[in-house]
Amino acid sequence: MDAPLRSPSPAQPPPAPRHPPPGPPPGPDTSDVLQQIMAITDQSLDEAQARKHALNCHRMKPALFSVLCEIKEKTVVSIRGIQEEDPPDAQLMRLDNMLLAEGVSRPEKRGRGGSAAVASTATPGGCPNDNNIEHSDYRAKLSQIRQIYHSELEKYEQACREFTTHVTNLLREQSRMRPVSPKEIEHMVGVIHGKFSAIQMQLKQSTCEALMTLRSRFLDARRKRRNFSKQATEVLNEYFYSHLSNPYPSEEAKEDLARKGGITVSQVSNWFGNKRIRYKKNMGKFQEEATIYTGKSAMDATKARALESQASCLSMPSPGSSGPFPLTSAGDAFLTLRTLAFLQPPPGGNCLQSQ
């Protein structure tokens, strides 16, 4: 018998080409890293806290921290050479002294006398009380400047405290993941205070400029205009124009004028010296003032003579006397006529006896 026919076996596939063994998976490129970093800003607070907690609990976190410490030792700038405390700024000290002298800034609290010290320092530098001149308007402006200064200063100090607290907490939180020493945190706080100190210096500078403007425009001008009281000025002018031919008062007259005007003898002497100079330079300007005070002096003299004549009239002189109005000169005769007109007796009651 014939053997059964066998079907031909299928052809073997060709061997696959040999490839190199697979390596480690490719790492993320730079663009992916940057994209992940930018995505951090879009994370919610809960997501950020979860990632932070996961990083702190990771088993490789100590190794990462040690690597960061090594990198920092090689690259970070040492702060050992930085001075512990900067020297005080001379300009800032001048501004502080001026604000303290003007009563704007408050001195250091020294027990119970702190408020009294503030009150005492607010008067000598800013608003003297000489000659009883009231500076209520000046005090109001000064108080307004003081309020604005303290209000703005409180805002800057509050912002500085808040920002310093925020940066300190942030650095302390980051010190759990990267090396941040307490000395570096203290140095950063000093840098922040320096930035805000520059802002405070601008505030103090503008406040001092406002004080100088206030003094030059208001207080100094009032001192020049109102050196003496109105009563003292009238007393001095009345004497000056009544003695215009010889406006040089004696020492006794100066003492009397000083007593009447409530000023010192030296102030009287200085006033007459300045008045004589001003009068000689511009006599036409003071002519009207001279007429006013001369007429006032003549009126006062007339009234005095009238009162004296009235007293003589009441004394009832004898018929043989020359009467209560002796005529010694032409000027006295004129004043006597005016006095007679001033002392007109009522009808039927003539007190003047005829010769």
Q: Quick one: pLDDT at residue 292?
A: 67
Average pLDDT of the residues in 32-51: 79
42 φ/ψ angles, rounded to the nearest 5 degrees: -90, -5
Average pLDDT of the residues in 90-111: 74
Reading the block at residue 76, the tokens are: 């970070």
Q: d(Cα 168, Cα 175) in Å, to the nearest integer?
A: 10
pLDDT band at 133 (very low <50, low <70, confident <90, very high): very low
Q: d(Cα 309, Cα 307) in Å, to the nearest integer?
A: 5
Burial of 216 (0-12, 13-18, 19+ CB in 10 A): exposed
Say yes or no: 57 and 190 in one domain.
yes
Q: Quick one: pLDDT at residue 257?
A: 92
Residue 152 has pLDDT above 50, yes or no: yes
pLDDT tens for 199-225 read 888 888 899 998 888 888 776 655 555
| CA distance to 14, 20, 41, per residue, from 17 (Å) | 9, 10, 49
Q: Say if 196 falls within a structural domain.
A: yes
Which of the pair, 134 or 292, is modelled with greater confidence?
A: 292
Say yes or no: 147 and 285 in one domain.
no
Say yes or no: 199 and 297 in one domain.
no
Say yes or no: 291 and 333 in one domain.
yes
Q: d(Cα 190, Cα 62) in Å, to the nearest integer?
A: 30
Choose one of 226, 249, 269: the last residue of a domain: 226
Say yes or no: 93 and 185 in one domain.
yes
Choose one of 177, 193, 226: the last residue of a domain: 226
Give me the helices (H) in 58-181, please: 61-75, 90-101, 114-122, 136-174
Say yes or no: 255 and 221 in one domain.
no
Say yes or no: 157 and 221 in one domain.
yes
Choose one of 192, 226, 260: the last residue of a domain: 226
Asked whether the beta carbons of 189 and 168 are under 8 A apart, the reply is yes
Average pLDDT, the chain: 71
Reading the block at residue 260, the tokens are: 């009447």
Q: d(Cα 93, Cα 208) in Å, to the nearest integer?
A: 12
Say yes or no: 197 and 297 in one domain.
no
CATH number assigned to the domain comprising residue 288: 1.10.10.60
Give the largest CA-CA distance in the chain.
213
Q: Quick one: pLDDT at residue 101?
A: 83
Say yes or no: 216 and 262 in one domain.
no
Q: Say if 321 falls within a structural domain.
A: no
| CA distance to 65, 83, 175, per residue, from 79 (Å) | 21, 9, 17
pLDDT band at 139 (very low <50, low <70, confident <90, very high): confident
Q: d(Cα 258, Cα 264) in Å, to the nearest integer?
A: 5
Reading the block at residue 299, the tokens are: 């009126």
Residue 304 has pLDDT above 80, yes or no: no
Residue 94 has pLDDT above 80, yes or no: yes
Q: How many residues does the chain have?
A: 355
Fill in the amino acid letter for 10: P
Q: CB-based contacts of 288: which residues, under 8 Å, 6+ apart?
A: none
Average pLDDT of the residues in 163-190: 87
Fill in the amino acid letter for 89: D
pLDDT band at 321 (very low <50, low <70, confident <90, very high): very low
Burial of 288 (0-12, 13-18, 19+ CB in 10 A): exposed
Asked whether the beta carbons of 260 and 253 are under 8 A apart, the reply is no
Q: Quick one: pLDDT at residue 76?
A: 65
CA 355 from centre of chain: 80
Burial of 348 (0-12, 13-18, 19+ CB in 10 A): exposed
Percentage of the chain beyond pLDDT 70 is 57
The residue range of the domain holding 266 is 230-314+329-339
Say yes or no: 187 and 53 in one domain.
yes
Residue 296 has pLDDT above 70, yes or no: no
Asked whether the beta carbons of 188 and 167 are under 8 A apart, the reply is yes
Give long-range contacts, CB 8 A cutoff, 24+ apart: 239-248: 240/272, 240/275, 240/279, 240/293, 241/289, 241/290, 241/293, 241/294, 241/297, 242/293, 242/294, 242/297, 244/290, 244/294, 247/272, 247/275, 247/276, 247/279, 248/272
CB atoms closer than 10 angstroms to residue 311: 10
pLDDT tens for 5-19 read 555 555 566 665 565
Residue 226 has pLDDT above 70, yes or no: no
Average pLDDT of the residues in 238-267: 89
In degrees to the nearest 10, what's the CA dihedral of 330, 333, 338, 339?
140
What percent helix, strand, coil does the chain show, rounded to 5?
Answer: 65, 0, 35
Say yes or no: 200 and 56 in one domain.
yes
In degrees to the nearest 10, what's the CA dihedral of 329, 330, 331, 334?
120
Domains in the chain: how many in total?
Answer: 2
Say yes or no: 99 and 217 in one domain.
yes
